[in-house]
């Protein structure tokens, strides 16, 4: 019997094996990206049996043993997630990581393919981010991500981070967006493009709901690179740039300045400053130490600067551990001329930054995984003198005729009129230098545990994050003596007597240091997740608790926030998707009793392309409609402790026999009573589509009502209250817009074509702001857009005294010929504050922001370009010396001088010259507004990719060399300034870059 039993068991086992072999077979496949390139290091698993795994190799191929009735799930590090149903007739499968499979990262561990996402989340890849050779990811995003408006501010590399908005201006309070790096709020300035895997913009309620108070204005989420399965990569790159400044301010020469100041003084009814002999001295150029003609901008700045970016990273891993490690070093040499004039130190503007990152993914056990992310950043900048010297301010202030660089006997030039430390060249050579150091450590750890022992599909995770940033300042500075010589009399056309003014004294190089600022940030996130499938349904639910503690140095700068969120994601038949998010948020910034608020969000999507009635539309590869609605709260506050009555020192009395003065206390801001918090009601409808095997389209339209915005109640209260009016939740702003993006990729033989475009329209209107009563409707800010410019409509300039006499009286200051003449809007015969009207648009965020890109590649040779533009955008021309010359002994630009009003040129661009502060002419008016619309060539690249056959012979995986231009062209309506940076700022730069990127 025992033998018979063994034979029976063996027979059953053989029957099982035969049956199994009849249903299973080896599946071979290849995973490629949207460009047809192989994807290495991807995880391929069987949906119903996730323990069955395979990994793609360097050419994107894999082999897996499973039943042909099963589905495969493909997860790539960079390209997304896709599930395919196997077909028994196929000998091999090719998996294209297409538009529908692109990863949409909601944070908190939720990565969804586009085909299942219900939120408005736009995306750009590392390849697009790394085309500008930027020192910071912030400056790599111009026109790259749909829905994001990124504006450049300055040409100074240490202070050049873009200002970013999502969906324009949505409130009269803060419009700042939340920036995340790997799911934690961090400063994007310290993140370099080489470490970025993707950048996402979360725009609607469904996308931002989980982030509580901080997500109300939209979220920019940066995901850094991670390791790959069964892969080993070493990537090395180098980028060298030659930089030059554009649209540097141009001021008049010494002779022209002397004429201009005389003309201004004559217009003011005062004696001229320079005699005819003085003018002759300037014009002849024979007396450079007495009648200087210094081009300060040219003397301070050299023609070119340079920068370098070195990068090496290691990426790969096995089945149990994956890694990404990067070392990145950046260096920039600025534009200061003659910076090596002192022994032992340089006064050059320099910037350097070192980034070290390690991201680890570890399978601790078959059910436990760990993620470790570590990044350290050391950056340092150096500048001549002190920041308080305001070098750029001096260049916009000191005229070429003020004093020479040095006197004839070698003393630094300077005089009493312009005061100490006003010589721009001396500030770059004789004031020493100062440096700033920033030291940053970013660390976070996540532990995930499957809890299938309790019930299948259950899991939990804990994440801890701690960031510490400290900035230190060092000053190595000294003082210097300065002097100038002035001609006091002339004889026979030659200087006869000269007097000298001298001040200051030379000193040794001193030293000082301090902690400039510090920022500590702690995060804790815990979640319990449950994922299951049944019949045609798939369900994911999650309960999330998050806590953060943010400490900045100084008082009232410690913030605590908490979120408790419940999230559910349901998919039926791969066609119908619904999400529900319920969030309770708390913040110590809000008033007692108002610290916690509740935010519900619901969203849904319909994949129409999977419906039977769409089967005849062969040109449509993927089509999804989605919609969302949610209420998002904010902890924006008008002031610290706004709920309490404030008092300050003020007033007082004479008391006692000696009538001594005793100070008193006075009321400040009144307390805000019965307050609530700002909240947004967000509506969104969107379409995601892919068609014609290469054309991808995204369209979103949205509407938002922002309510309970903090505004001053002064407009609703009487001044009889006797103190500053309280703040109240009385503001309402409506905003709406359209966002559309498309890209097209096509391979025709050896020719690869890439085209794309993005367009954003964002408009808004103030519905309520507790505005004080206005005499006329056209004066009301209510009904206008946020930050709408108000000013006076100019009719031209007064021609003569008769013109002044026959025109409405202008009450701002006494006027004379050459002053601006305004339109009387209400017809009362007087020009005053009742004649302001809305002019142009706002000067903060353009209403229209767009970009388009193109690329061609043939047999490794390629060219690509990105253009980005803005419209419905207004600039206010109020820069000192450029548009406000000569007042308080400031300089005057060539542009203003050539376009000033005179009796001979009554129809000029600008009013008459004056040395007096003229309230009439400096009012915001149509004279000082300009269309700030622009179209810029953000980056253009010509490259060559080394052939695969050649690379294999030298044991390389990839190779690319390139020449790249950054910000080479700007088409705009601003004559002498960059439309993105109007003011006393470092000029914008252009650069020509050469570089290479090799992979091993």
Residue that has been written with the tokens 């997740």 in this structure: 529
SS3 readout for 917-944: CCCCCCCCEHHHEEECCEEEEEEEEEEE
- Give the rounded distance of the alpha carbon of 236 from its chain centre: 27
Residues 6+ apart with CB under 8 A from 612: none
Question: Which residues on neighbouring strands pair with residue 599, listed in sequence order?
Answer: 583
**107-226 to CATH, choices 3.40.50.150, 2.170.130.10, 1.10.10.10, 2.170.120.12:** 2.170.130.10
CA distance 864 to 866: 7
- Give the rounded distance of the alpha carbon of 268 from its chain centre: 45
CA distance 47 to 83: 8
CA distance 764 to 760: 13
Residues 6+ apart with CB under 8 A from 904: none
Strands (E), 456-511: 458-477, 482-491, 494-503
Residue 975's CB: how many other CB atoms inside 10 A?
Answer: 11
Which pLDDT score, from 0 to 100, does residue 12 have? 40
What's the DSSP call for residue 302?
Answer: -
CA distance 437 to 228: 35
Judge contact between 625 and 651, C-beta under 8 A: no
For the chain, percent helix, then strand, then coil, each to nearest 5? 15, 50, 35
SS3 906: coil
Which phi and psi angles does 268 have, rounded to 5°?
Answer: -85, 0
Residue 649's CB: how many other CB atoms inside 10 A?
Answer: 9
Q: Which CATH number is associated with domain 24-97? A: 2.60.40.1120
Which pLDDT score, from 0 to 100, does residue 87 have? 74
Angle between helices 276-284 and 254-267 (to 10 degrees): 160
CA distance 938 to 144: 10
Residue 963's CB: how many other CB atoms inside 10 A?
Answer: 13
From residue 739, give the alpha-carbon distance in Å to each of 143, 145, 557, 680.
Answer: 13, 11, 36, 19
For the chain, what are the domain ranges?
24-97, 107-226, 237-245+306-515
Which pLDDT score, from 0 to 100, does residue 8 have? 44
CA distance 526 to 92: 42
CA distance 2 to 746: 69
User: Which among 107, 102, 42 is positioned nearest to 73, based on CA atoms?
Assistant: 42
Which alpha helices (H) appear in 227-291, and where do they start and end?
254-267, 276-284
The chain-wide mean pLDDT, for the chain, equals 91
Which pLDDT score, from 0 to 100, does residue 844 have? 96
CA distance 674 to 595: 13
- Give the rounded distance of the alpha carbon of 976 from its chain centre: 24
Q: What is the greatest pairwise CA distance in the chain?
A: 141
Judge contact between 977 and 879, C-beta under 8 A: yes
SS3 readout for 326-363: EEEEEEEECCECCCCCECCECCCCEEEEEEEEEEEEEE
Judge contact between 334 and 349, C-beta under 8 A: yes
- Give the rounded distance of the alpha carbon of 975 from its chain centre: 25
Judge contact between 423 and 403, C-beta under 8 A: yes
Judge contact between 703 and 686, C-beta under 8 A: no
Question: Which residues on neighbouring strands pair with residue 943, listed in sequence order?
Answer: 862, 962
CA distance 570 to 471: 47
Which pLDDT score, from 0 to 100, does residue 739 have? 98
SS3 416: coil
Judge contact between 148 and 220, C-beta under 8 A: yes
Residue 22 host element (H or E)? helix 2-23
Which pLDDT score, from 0 to 100, does residue 929 have? 97
Judge contact between 306 and 241, C-beta under 8 A: yes
The 10s digit of each residue's pLDDT in 439-476 is 999 999 999 999 999 999 999 999 999 999 999 999 99
CA pseudo-torsion sign 868, 873, 874, 880: negative
What's the DSSP call for residue 672?
Answer: P
CA distance 378 to 177: 25
CA distance 387 to 317: 47
User: Which among 532, 460, 461, 527 is positioned nearest to 47, based on CA atoms?
Assistant: 532
CA distance 45 to 280: 87
Judge contact between 485 and 289, C-beta under 8 A: yes
The encoded tokens of residue 461 equal 């995770």
SS3 459: strand
User: Which among 810, 775, 788 is positioned nearest to 918, based on CA atoms?
Assistant: 810
Q: What is the pTM of this model?
A: 0.92
Residue that has been written with the tokens 């005729």 in this structure: 401
Q: Can you list the residues of the chain whose pLDDT is less than 70?
A: 1-24, 68, 88-90, 158-160, 554-556, 718-723
Judge contact between 694 and 744, C-beta under 8 A: yes
Which phi and psi angles does 2 have, rounded to 5°?
Answer: -60, -40
Burial of 770 (0-12, 13-18, 19+ CB in 10 A): buried
Q: How crowded is the C-beta side of 392, counted as CA atoms within 13 Å? A: 17
């Amino acid at each position: 019997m025992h033998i018979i039993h063994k034979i029976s068991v063996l027979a059953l086992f053989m029957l099982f094996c035969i049956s199994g072999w009849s249903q299973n077979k080896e599946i071979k496949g290849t995973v490629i990206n949207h460009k047809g390139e192989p994807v290495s290091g991807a995880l391929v698993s069987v949906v119903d049996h996730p323990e069955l795994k395979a990994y793609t190799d360097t050419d994107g191929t894999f082999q897996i043993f499973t039943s042909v009735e099963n589905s495969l799930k493909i997860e790539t590090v960079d390209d997304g997630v896709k599930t395919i149903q196997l077909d028994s007739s196929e000998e091999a499968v090719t998996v294209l990581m297409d538009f529908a499979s692109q990863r949409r990262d909601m944070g908190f561990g939720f990565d969804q393919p586009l085909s299942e996402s219900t939120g408005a989340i736009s995306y750009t890849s590392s390849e697009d981010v790394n085309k500008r050779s930027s020192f910071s990811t912030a400056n790599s995003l111009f026109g790259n991500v749909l829905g994001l408006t990124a504006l450049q501010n300055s040409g100074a590399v240490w202070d050049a981070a873009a200002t970013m908005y999502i969906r324009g201006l949505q409130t009269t309070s803060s419009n700042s967006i939340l920036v995340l790096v790997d799911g934690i709020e961090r400063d994007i300035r310290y993140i370099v493009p080489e470490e970025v895997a993707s950048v996402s913009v979360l725009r609607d309620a469904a996308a931002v709901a989980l982030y509580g108070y901080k997500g109300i204005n939209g979220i920019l989420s940066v995901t850094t690179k991670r390791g790959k399965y069964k892969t080993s990569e070493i990537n090395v790159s180098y980028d060298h740039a030659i930089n030059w400044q554009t649209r540097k301010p141009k001021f008049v020469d010494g002779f022209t300045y002397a004429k201009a100041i005389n003309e201004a003084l004559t217009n003011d009814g005062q004696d001229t400053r320079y005699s005819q002999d003085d003018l002759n001295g300037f014009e002849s150029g024979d007396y450079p130490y007495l009648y200087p003609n210094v081009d300060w901008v040219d003397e301070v700045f050299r023609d070119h600067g340079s920068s370098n970016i070195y990068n090496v990273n290691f990426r790969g891993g096995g089945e149990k551990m994956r890694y990404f490690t990067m070392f990145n070093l950046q260096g920039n040499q600025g534009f200061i001329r003659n910076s090596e004039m002192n022994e032992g130190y340089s006064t050059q503007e320099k910037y350097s930054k070192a980034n070290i990152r390690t991201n680890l993914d570890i399978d601790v056990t078959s059910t436990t995984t760990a993620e470790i992310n570590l990044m350290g950043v050391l950056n340092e900048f150096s500048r001549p003198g002190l920041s308080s010297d305001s070098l750029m301010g001096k260049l916009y202030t000191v005229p070429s005729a003020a004093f020479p660089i040095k006197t004839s006997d070698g003393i630094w030039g300077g005089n009493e009129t312009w005061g100490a430390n006003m010589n721009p060249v001396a500030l770059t050579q004789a004031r020493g230098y100062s440096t700033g150091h920033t030291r940053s450590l970013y660390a976070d750890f996540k532990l995930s545990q499957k809890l299938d022992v309790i019930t299948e599909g259950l899991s939990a995770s804990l994440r801890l994050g701690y960031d510490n940033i400290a900035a230190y300042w060092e000053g190595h500075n000294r003082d210097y003596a300065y002097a100038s010589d002035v001609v006091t009399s002339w004889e026979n056309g030659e200087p006869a007597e000269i007097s000298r003014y001298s001040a200051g004294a030379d000193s040794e190089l001193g030293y000082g240091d301090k902690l400039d600022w510090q920022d500590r940030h702690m995060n804790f996130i815990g979640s319990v997740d449950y994922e299951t499938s049944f019949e045609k349904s798939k369900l994911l639910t999650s309960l999330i608790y998050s806590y953060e503690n943010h400490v900045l140095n100084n008082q009232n700068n410690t913030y605590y926030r908490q979120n408790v969120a419940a999230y559910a994601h349901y998919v039926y038949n791969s066609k119908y998707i619904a999400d529900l998010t319920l969030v309770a948020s708390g913040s110590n910034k809000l008033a007692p009793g108002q610290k916690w608020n509740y935010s519900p969000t619901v969203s849904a999507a319909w994949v129409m392309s999977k419906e039977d009635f769409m089967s005849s539309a062969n040109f449509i590869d993927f089509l999804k409609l989605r919609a969302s609605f949610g209420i998002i709260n904010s902890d924006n506050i008008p002031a610290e402790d706004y709920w309490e009555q404030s008092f300050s020192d003020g007033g007082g009395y004479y008391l006692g026999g000696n009538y001594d003065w005793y100070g008193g206390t006075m009321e400040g801001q009144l307390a805000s009573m019965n307050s609530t918090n700002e909240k947004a009601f967000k509506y969104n409808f969107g379409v995601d589509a892919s068609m014609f095997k290469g054309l991808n389209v995204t369209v979103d339209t949205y509407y938002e009502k922002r309510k309970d915005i903090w505004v001053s109640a002064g407009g609703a209260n009487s001044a009889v209250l006797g103190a500053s009016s309280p703040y109240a939740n009385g503001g309402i702003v409506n905003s709406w817009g359209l966002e559309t993006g498309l890209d097209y990729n096509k391979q025709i033989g050896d020719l690869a074509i890439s085209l794309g475009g993005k367009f954003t329209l964002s408009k808004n209107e103030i519905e309520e702001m507790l505005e004080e009563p206005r005499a006329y409707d056209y004066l009301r800010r209510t009904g206008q857009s946020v930050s709408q410019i108000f000013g006076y409509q100019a009719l031209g300039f007064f021609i003569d005294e008769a013109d002044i006499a026959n025109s409405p009286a202008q009450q701002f200051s006494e006027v004379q010929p050459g002053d601006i003449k305004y339109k009387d809007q209400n017809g009362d015969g007087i020009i005053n504050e009742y004649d302001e009207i809305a002019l142009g648009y706002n000067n903060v965020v353009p209403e229209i922001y767009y970009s388009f890109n193109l690329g061609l590649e043939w047999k490794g040779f390629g060219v690509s370009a990105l253009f980005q533009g803005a419209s419905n955008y207004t600039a206010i021309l109020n820069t000192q010396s450029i548009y406000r010359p000569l007042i308080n002994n400031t300089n005057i630009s060539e542009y203003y001088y050539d376009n000033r009003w005179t009796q001979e040129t009554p129809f000029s661009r600008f009013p008459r010259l004056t040395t007096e502060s003229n309230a009439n002419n400096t009012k915001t008016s149509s004279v000082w507004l300009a269309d700030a619309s622009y179209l810029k060539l953000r980056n253009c690249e010509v490259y060559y990719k080394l052939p695969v056959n050649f690379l294999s012979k030298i044991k390389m995986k990839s190779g690319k060399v390139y020449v790249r231009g950054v910000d080479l062209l700007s088409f705009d309506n601003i004559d002498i300034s960059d439309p993105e940076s109007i003011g006393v700022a470092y000029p914008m730069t252009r650069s020509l870059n050469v570089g290479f990127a090799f992979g091993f």
